[in-house]
């Protein structure tokens, strides 16, 4: 009888259905009965064999490696950039002194107007979009419920800003002052370019789509590596790192760096005729590009400043594609209804979809 | 060993070192598995090498593989079967009749607590199991796969996997019973 129970529990474990109680019960059986323990080890010998320094495998790898070299598959990888902390060199001191004098003179000249380094925050609420020109001449289109923050010394030494939400950037070329954007779990270094970043805290992915020029992306948890994007490429990063933003535009450390796993994919985006769907929002077009329902709902919420409540779990597997050029919420919803996949009702600022 | 992280290193950063670690990590299990099909070590090596080559050349698609271990075993099995079909005029293997050869549980730690005689009897009992049954038992024992993973690799249902393993366990249990009565 005990054997029968033992067999049953082993099978539950292997089918992945066993509860913690069942696992504990199996452990007790093994501990109490040496025969069952022997049998158990015939199925679970234990000791994950990780003989990575196995000579047979190493030998096989060198043969395999040679084969790949001959096939020309190992192209020389670009050297990963090593960022050293900036050291103020001695010969820079006079220049720094001059700057300080000028800054003080300026402060006096402008009647001690606030030139502090408090920085700026530009915000767009849900339901609206904005367009700003930064001190360096770069243009930013901000989508709904998004913000950029930068310090008061923006464009003096470098150009760094922090983004939450979605923005389209047209960056003014200036090779001496790299333009760096912190967005959730990654930072994007710009080398003069036009591109789109979507990085809302309530959405699982961060998407960077490049229209022209080039950008270098660094994941905050892997500072030694950079990812280069070419025009027409989109990088999607799983933002499972829940990064919180402090107001001084520093990105806090991920809570659990060991458990931080980013899944990346690069994909081709059609940029023909400059019709980059990812950035069409800045022309007032609401675009669904094969989006799943969760993303559709998220886009509608931000675009029209409403709350979307899904009352039908079957919707999660549906995908939607469409472009709405400056259309009303009602138009978008009724068009979605015509797919036959859903019905809706609007009460105040809440849309119920089922 | 964080396989997913290594996958990402290989797919996105083309990191040869991460690639090497993946290769070394999976090599032995894959070779043993390929051997059970093709019975020629050189051929098995070639099949595993082809599969690992694809891991490098698929680039970003590699990040889409959620369970690399299962993916590799499945790919090796497909490669092995293709090889057997291509070489049908030499050999007449029935895929379903293939079983792991002389059951040697290589790579598993020596279990000092059981007698060599008993070990021998276990091995014999396993070698007398139906081929598919042996295959299932071997995959679970040597690679710690779950039912679902074995089902995916061998293209059979989880219920079938369960049935095969039950048979194997009952058989081993019976060996243990008779051993207790005959020894001591």
- In terms of domains, do A231 and A290 share one? no
**Which of A90-99, A116-125, A179-188, B21-30 has the highest mean predicted lDDT (pLDDT)?**
B21-30
Whether A59 is covered by a domain: the verdict is no
Confidence at residue B52, expressed as pLDDT on a 0 to 100 scale? 95
Reported for A30-37, long-range contacts at CB under 8 A and 24+ positions apart, including other chains, are A33/A2, A35/B176, A35/B180, A36/A2, A36/A3, A36/A6, A37/B113
- Residue A136 CA, chain-centre distance (Å), reads 26
Tokens linked to A102: 């000028």
Average pLDDT over residues A125-150: 84
Residue B30 confidence class, pLDDT cut points 50, 70, 90: very high
**SS3 track for A155-188:** CCCCEEEEEEEEEEEECCCCCCCCEEEEECCEEE
- In terms of domains, do A231 and A292 share one? no
Q: Which position has the higher pLDDT, A135 or B164?
A: B164
Whether A107 is covered by a domain: the verdict is no
Nearest-CB residue to A45 (from B15, B109, B166): B109
Query: Is there a contact between A73 and B53 if contact means CB atoms under 8 Å apart?
Result: yes
Pairing of strands A350-353, A344-347: antiparallel
What CATH number has the domain bearing residue A313?
Answer: 3.55.50.30
Residue span of the structural domain in which A125 resides: 117-245+261-273
Whether A318 is covered by a domain: the verdict is yes
Whether A88 is covered by a domain: the verdict is no
Smallest Cα distance from B98 to chain A, Å: 21
Dist CA B166 CA B133 (whole Å): 9
- In terms of domains, do A142 and A268 share one? yes
Q: Would you tell me which residues 96-125 of chain B have a C-beta closer than 8 angstroms to some C-beta of chain A?
A: 105, 107-109, 111, 113-114, 118, 122
By CA distance, what is A264's nearest residue in B?
Answer: B63
- In terms of domains, do A333 and A194 share one? no
- In terms of domains, do A124 and A236 share one? yes
- In terms of domains, do A232 and A295 share one? no
CB-based contact (8 Å) between B170 and chain A? yes
Q: pLDDT by residue (tens digit) across A41-84? A: 888 887 555 554 577 888 888 888 888 877 777 754 433 333 44
Q: How many CA atoms lie within 13 A of B98 on its CB side?
A: 18
Query: Which residues on chain B are in Cβ contact (under 8 Å) with A261?
Result: 2, 4-5, 8
Under the phi-then-psi rule, with left for phi > 0, alpha for psi from -120 to 50, and beta for the rest, what region is A144? beta
Dist CA B103 CA B124 (whole Å): 8
- In terms of domains, do A181 and A241 share one? yes
Nearest-CB residue to B24 (from A38, A39, A57): A57
Confidence at residue A198, expressed as pLDDT on a 0 to 100 scale? 84
Tokens linked to A156: 């003096």
- In terms of domains, do A139 and A19 share one? no
- In terms of domains, do A219 and A183 share one? yes
From residue A98, how far is each of A92, A105, A116, A176, B177 by CA, in Å? 10, 10, 18, 19, 92
Query: Is there a contact between B176 and A39 if contact means CB atoms under 8 Å apart?
Result: yes
What CATH number has the domain bearing residue A186?
Answer: 2.60.120.1440
By CA distance, what is B142's nearest residue in A?
Answer: A45
Nearest-CB residue to B141 (from A43, A58, A68): A43
Whether A225 is covered by a domain: the verdict is yes
pTM: 0.48
Query: Which residues on chain B are in Cβ contact (under 8 Å) with A48?
Result: 144
Nearest-CB residue to B140 (from A14, A73, A77): A14
Q: pLDDT by residue (tens digit) across B135-161? A: 999 999 988 899 999 999 999 999 999
CB-based contact (8 Å) between B163 and chain A? no
Whether A102 is covered by a domain: the verdict is no
Whether A75 is covered by a domain: the verdict is no
Query: Which residues on chain A are in Cβ contact (under 8 Å) with B76?
Result: none
Smallest Cα distance from A66 to chain B, Å: 11
- In terms of domains, do A269 and A315 share one? no
Return the sign of the alpha-carbon dihedral for residues A123, A126, A132, A136: positive
Average pLDDT over residues A20-41: 90
Whether A92 is covered by a domain: the verdict is no
Dist CA A296 CA A353 (whole Å): 12
- In terms of domains, do A268 and A295 share one? no
- In terms of domains, do A21 and A164 share one? no
Residue A8 DSSP SS3: helix
- Spell out the residues 6+ positions from residue A348 whose beta carbon is closer than 8 angstroms to its own: none
Question: How many folded domains does chain A comprise?
Answer: 3
Nearest-CB residue to B111 (from A41, A73, A74): A41
């Amino acid at each position: 009888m005990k054997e029968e129970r033992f067999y049953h529990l082993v099978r539950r474990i292997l089918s992945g259905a066993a509860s913690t109680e069942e696992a504990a019960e199996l452990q007790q059986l093994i501990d109490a009965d040496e025969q069952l323990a022997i049998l158990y080890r015939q199925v679970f010998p234990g000791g994950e064999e990780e003989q990575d320094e196995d000579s047979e495998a190493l030998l096989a790898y060198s043969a395999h490696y040679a084969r790949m070299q001959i096939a020309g598959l190992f192209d020389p990888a670009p050297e990963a950039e090593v960022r050293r902390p900036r050291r103020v060199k001695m010969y820079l001191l006079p220049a720094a002194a001059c700057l300080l004098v000028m800054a003080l003179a300026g402060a006096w000249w402008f009647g001690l107007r606030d030139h502090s380094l408090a920085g700026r925050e530009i915000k767009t609420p849900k339901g609206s979009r904005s367009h700003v020109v930064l001190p360096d001449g770069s243009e930013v289109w901000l989508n709904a419920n998004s913000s950029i923050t930068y310090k008061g010394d923006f464009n003096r030494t470098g150009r760094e800003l922090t983004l939450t939400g979605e923005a389209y950037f047209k960056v003014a070329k200036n090779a001496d002052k790299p333009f760096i954007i912190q967005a959730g779990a990654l930072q994007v270094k710009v080398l003069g370019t036009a591109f789109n970043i979507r990085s809302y805290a309530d959405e699982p992915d961060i998407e960077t789509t490049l229209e022209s020029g080039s950008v270098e992306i660094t994941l905050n948890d892997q500072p030694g590596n950079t990812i280069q994007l070419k025009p027409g490429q989109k990088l999607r990063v799983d933002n499972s790192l829940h990064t919180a933003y402090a107001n001084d535009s520093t990105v806090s450390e991920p809570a659990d760096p060991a458990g931080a796993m980013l899944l990346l994919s690069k994909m081709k985006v059609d940029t023909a005729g400059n019709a980059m769907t990812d950035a069409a929002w800045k022309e007032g077009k609401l675009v669904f590009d094969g989006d799943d329902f969760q993303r559709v709902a998220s886009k509608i919420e931000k675009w029209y400043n409403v709350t979307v409540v899904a009352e039908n779990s079957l919707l999660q597997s549906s995908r939607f594609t469409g472009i709405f050029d400056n259309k009303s919420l009602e138009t978008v919803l009724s068009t979605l209804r015509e797919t036959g996949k859903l019905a809706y009702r609007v009460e105040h600022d809440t849309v119920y979809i089922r | 060993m964080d396989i997913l992280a290594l996958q990402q290193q290989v797919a996105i950063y083309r990191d040869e070192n991460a690639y090497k670690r993946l290769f070394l990590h999976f090599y032995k299990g894959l070779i043993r598995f390929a051997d059970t099909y093709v019975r020629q070590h050189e051929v098995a090596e070639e099949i595993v090498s082809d599969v690992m080559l694809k891991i490098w050349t698929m680039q970003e698609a590699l990040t889409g593989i959620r369970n690399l271990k299962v993916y590799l075993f499945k790919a090796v099995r497909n490669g092995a079967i293709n090889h057997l079909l291509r070489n049908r005029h030499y050999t007449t293997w029935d895929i379903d009749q293939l079983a792991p050869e002389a059951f040697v549980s290589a790579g598993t730690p020596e279990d000092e607590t059981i007698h060599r005689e008993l070990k021998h009897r276990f091995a014999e009992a396993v070698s007398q199991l139906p081929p598919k049954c042996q295959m299932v038992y071997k995959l679970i024992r040597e690679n710690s796969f779950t039912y679902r993973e074995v089902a995916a690799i061998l293209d059979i249902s989880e219920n079938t996997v369960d049935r095969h393993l039950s048979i194997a366990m009952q058989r081993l249990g019976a060996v243990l019973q008779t051993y207790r009565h005959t020894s001591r």
